[in-house]
Structure 1
Amino acid sequence: MGVAVGAYRFYRHQQLLKTRAHLMREAIRNHDFTFRLPVKGLFSGERALQEALNEMGHEINRLVAQNEVESWQKLTRVLTHEIMNATAPITSISQAYLNSPKIQGTPYEEGIRAIYTTSRGLSVFVDSYRKFAQLQEPSLHPLRLETSLQKVQALFPTLEWNIDLPSGLTLSLDENLFHQVLINLIKNAQEARATRLDVRWRDEELWISNNGALIPAEVAREIFIPFFTTKRSGSGIGLSLSKRLMVKQGRNLRLAETPVAGFPVSFVL
């Protein structure tokens, strides 16, 4: 009887291991490197292996995010350089014509002014995005999260906050850059008509959730792409910049596929 029970338990344990292997294989196939499988119920050797795989998934996800951000940064740098080179002479020449007495008061003035205004506006627009490619290097220090979050909370008194963090939790971050990321996320939440925020620590990551409008799947795939926006007056740089700021601090920023219960949207840092 004892042998049969032992054999059954061994068989069941092996099936559980097969299920774990299947889940991890599917996560990798879908390029989801955020997986973390529990280690409860595993033998010491299996537990060590699972912990190593969890850490490996986290590191792969961080490297993928870093490479993605660097690629967008290089593309943005090239585009801004080329656009500025193209618009600068147009702006300069059209401005010179507008200052000429031969043009002032003639039918040509309105058309040349339109050219000047458009090229000047494009130059200002592009120049504003140079900050995406030219960011200060972070100054990392141990940062107590609860204290830092309370400073940001004071800026948004109309929101209902729930902060649930382990006592004394600290991360190596640049507080100014971290605050910029938090403010961007909260402003986005407010624009989506959020009234409540939930901040908690889960699986070695900071989860920031809000009760604003659900982000459609087709939009969720694009939200971290620079200049992508669904807003009429949006710049499309807030979330992509926030992601880059977190990557420069050795972490990441992603939209959770499964938000915290009771909240339509969860960002994970």
Structure 2
Amino acid sequence: MTIVVVFIIVLIPAGMVFFFHHQNKLKLRARLMREAVRNHEFTFHLPVKGLFYGEKALQEALNDLGQDINKLVAQKEVESWQKLTRVLTHEIMNVSTPIQSISQAYLEHPKVVGTSLEKGVRAINDAAGNLVTFVDSYRKLTQLQEPVISTLRLKDFLEGIMELYHNITWEIGIPADTVLDTDGSLLRQVIVNIIKNAAEAGAKNIECTWRDSALRISNDGTPIPAEVRRDIFIPFYTTKSTGTGIGLALSRQIMTMLGGLLELSEKADAGYHATFILKFEQ
């Protein structure tokens, strides 16, 4: 009887300590998720190790919900930018095309050729022409081809792209039997855009891995500053003097069309400065 009493006396405090410790861990999880949602970061994926059965199921559901919300937000952003770009390109073309045509006609007029007016009219014509070219490039955001789905072997597909960049060392850690049902032409545009940006950022090494139905592409180029991470998928946004701000915006739109999602990982994979994640439907 004495042994039982002693056991109970020891067990109750130990149980209480464990209970409060476990509750504090759950409280920390709740705070982390609340902060993530407040900052519009829906890519959180908290571990389920150490949780009880019901808690584990709840955490898995919350993780999945965060991914679904993130995908929906990205899709709505793409739709909004598509509508805005469609309106802007239409209005700009309505103005710039007549200016270009009229100025071209003046450049060919005898009363203008060889006079002091020619230089000014030519400047107007060039500016209008550049604007038309600029708008044409952004029409890509609203005139993407419909996906043509086929089955491709991911490792072979990436090795084909690798041949375009001999000055970069590649590490493709993907099983040979990994296959995707997707549009190879559109997916190639996405990956080439990512690699091109990495090369322009001075990357010498690229790593491609496959995890949880997602292709992870990491590079060791110049790190992406924290203050621009949230803006890199916005159309027209660029930090390059010669950039157009269309590459990553177009890439995210393509991944959305393919039923997936393109993200920049909050933390790059070990040994690299940036990791882009291409998520596909399971």
Normalising by the residue count of structure 2, what TM-score does the alignment of the two structures yield?
A: 0.89
Q: 2:275 aligns with which of 263, 266, 269?
A: 266
Instruction: Give unmatched runs, 5+ long, in structure 1.
Output: none
1:202 is displaced (CA, Å) by 3.9
1:51 is displaced (CA, Å) by 1.2
1:5 is displaced (CA, Å) by 3.0
Residue 85 of structure 1 corresponds to: 94
Residue 5 of structure 2 corresponds to: none
Secondary structure of the residue that 1:42 maps to in structure 2?
coil
Within 1, Cα distance between the matches of 2:251 and 2:195?
12
Residue 44 of structure 1 corresponds to: 53
1:23 is displaced (CA, Å) by 1.4
Q: 2:22 aligns with which of 7, 10, 13?
A: 13
Residue 231 of structure 2 corresponds to: 222
- Specify whether residues 204 and 28 from structure 1 end up closer, same or farther in structure 2 by C-alpha distance, changes over 3 A only: farther
1:260 maps to a residue whose letter is: D
Within 2, Cα distance between the matches of 1:111 and 1:154?
47
Within 2, Cα distance between the matches of 1:95 and 1:201?
54
Residue 180 of structure 1 corresponds to: 189
Within 2, Cα distance between the matches of 1:168 and 1:255?
26
Within 1, Cα distance between the matches of 2:255 and 2:180?
12
Contact 2:153 2:176 in 1 (8 A): no
Secondary structure of the residue that 1:129 maps to in structure 2?
helix
1:57 is displaced (CA, Å) by 0.5
- Specify whether residues 140 and 9 from structure 1 end up closer, same or farther in structure 2 by C-alpha distance, changes over 3 A only: farther
1:203 is displaced (CA, Å) by 4.6
Give the stretch that moved more between structures: 2-11 or 243-252.
Answer: 2-11
Structure 1: which 4+ aligned runs deviate by more than 6 Å? Answer: none
1:32 is displaced (CA, Å) by 0.7
- Specify whether residues 168 and 39 from structure 1 end up closer, same or farther in structure 2 by C-alpha distance, changes over 3 A only: farther
2:39 maps to a residue whose letter is: N
Q: Deviations over 1:233-258 (max 9, x none)?
A: 22211111111111111222222221
The answer to which structure, 1 or 2, has the higher relative contact order (CA under 8 A, 6+ apart) is 1
Within 2, Cα distance between the matches of 1:253 and 1:157?
25
Within 2, Cα distance between the matches of 1:72 and 1:241?
10
Residue 251 of structure 2 corresponds to: 242
**How many residues were matched structurally?**
269
1:41 is displaced (CA, Å) by 2.1
Say whether 1:161 aligns with 2:149: no
Give the stretch that moved more between structures: 6-15 or 80-89.
Answer: 6-15
Within 1, Cα distance between the matches of 2:107 and 2:172?
58
Greater CA radius of gyration, 1 or 2? 2
Secondary structure of the residue that 2:216 maps to in structure 1?
strand
Instruction: Give unmatched runs, 5+ long, in structure 2.
Output: 1-9
